[in-house]
Amino acid sequence: MVNSEAARVEMRIEQEPVGPSGVFVTHHANDTDSVTPARLGEIFSEIRGAGITGHRFDIRWQRVQPEMYGEADTTYLDKSAAVARLGQDAGLDTTVVLSTPPKWGKDLIRINPGEFLRQYEKYCTTVRDALTGQGVTPATVQVFNELNNPFFTPAYLMPVLPFCVMTARRVFGSDTKISGTLFVGNLAAPMENRLFTNYRRFLSKYDSAMGMLDHIGIDYYPGLYDYTGKLPEIVREGAQTFIGKTGELDRALTAVRSFTSGSDVTVGIDEVGFPTVAGRIVPGRKGKLHEVRKYLPARDEFGMRYAYNRFIRAFQPLMAKHRLNRVGFYQLFDEPGDAAGLGFGLYTRDGREKVPSLGTSDQTDWLGKLVRRVGKPV
């Protein structure tokens, strides 16, 4: 951990005029009751005041329609629409991710693709009507999640992707952009082949469907999936440096911009982030459990300032080089549940200020400096 006063001065984020930044944040506020609606509205106003322009969240198919011929879950839909309205009232653009196909949908597509598409249109229409009921028109609708990542989007969905894009465009209308995302990592070939399809191969194979989108976003986590050893292990030597790794992101942006050259399809970074609070444990060598708390640079207030500033310093040149005007941080709150064991949030799960822990004005001031720095080259 860098802790000298000289380093603190060097890494201080300078004051700059507020300007358009195109920075948005992902959250899962509609999937949890950890944050009250009143507090969520306050936080949306805080981040909008800091310069963040949008928010992004999933409205999951498996929760909207748990059973194929059952009733829609109106409680979940109403909560999701209310979250969208809170964001809109605070001045945030809304991106809705149409994600998480239900098990019955995954089974259906194998035996009756036509019926699958009819059910998909029903899902889109149900989500649209719920949002419209709250007076919300989403700026962007994302079709599925990480199209080259079978954990979220199985490969057998790809043949119907063009029809899903057309359906979403027809249902949500011309005022809503349709987007798709690609997961980008840099792992050793055997591990990469098990986890996801390389973005270059994916673009080549599904070029027609990807060309139908209005926007292609990249999901990239520096260091966490940018590791060519046998195991992606966070160790003492690497934890302080992985935040600044942007080489694979640069290569991916170059490839996707080349793919979209000559078209109106925009390119951006829709998810980027790193742990901002120490997790519990991650797998280590020889099956041992490796404690990460003492190695993560973002384990306290100064560590978080250091980590974000280091990352932004490495990240800014890419924004200028690739003329990016859409960047999404993951995420607003620490992940609900303990599955990941790491906290990526700017706020705690229950909506408390995370950095610094001195009150809303300090949190917003710090966040505003971060956003202005990200948005400076745009």
pLDDT digits (tens, 9 = 90+) for 204-225: 999 999 999 999 999 988 766 6
- Cα dihedral sign, 219-221-226-230: negative
pLDDT of 109: 95
What are the residue ranges in the chain where pLDDT is below 50?
Answer: 1-21, 230-240, 278-298, 337-341, 358, 377-378
pLDDT of 192: 63
Domains of the chain: 5-375 (3.20.20.80)
DSSP state of 222: T
Q: Give how far the C-alpha of residue 315 lies from the chain's centroid of Cα atoms, to the nearest Å.
A: 16
Instruction: Map tokens 């490839």 to a residue.
Output: 255
DSSP codes joined into one string, 167-190:
HHHHHH-TTSEEEEEEEE-EE-HH
207 Cβ contact list (under 8 Å, min separation 6): 259
User: How do 140-143 and 281-283 pair as beta strands?
Assistant: unpaired
Taking the CA of residue 181 as centre, how many other CA atoms within 13 Å lie in the half-sphere pointing to its CB? 29
Give dist(CA 60, CA 96) in Å, integer.
10
pLDDT of 263: 93
281 Cβ contact list (under 8 Å, min separation 6): 289, 290, 291, 292, 341
For Cα atoms 163, 167, 169, give the angle at the middle one, nearest 5 degrees.
120
Enter the pTM of the model: 0.85
User: How do 177-184 and 186-187 pair as beta strands?
Assistant: unpaired
pLDDT of 108: 96
- Return the structure tokens found at 110: 């194998």
Question: Where are the alpha helices (H) located in the chain, listed in sequence order?
Answer: 5-10, 37-49, 61-64, 74-89, 103-111, 113-133, 161-172, 189-195, 199-205, 207-210, 236-239, 247-260, 301-322, 360-375
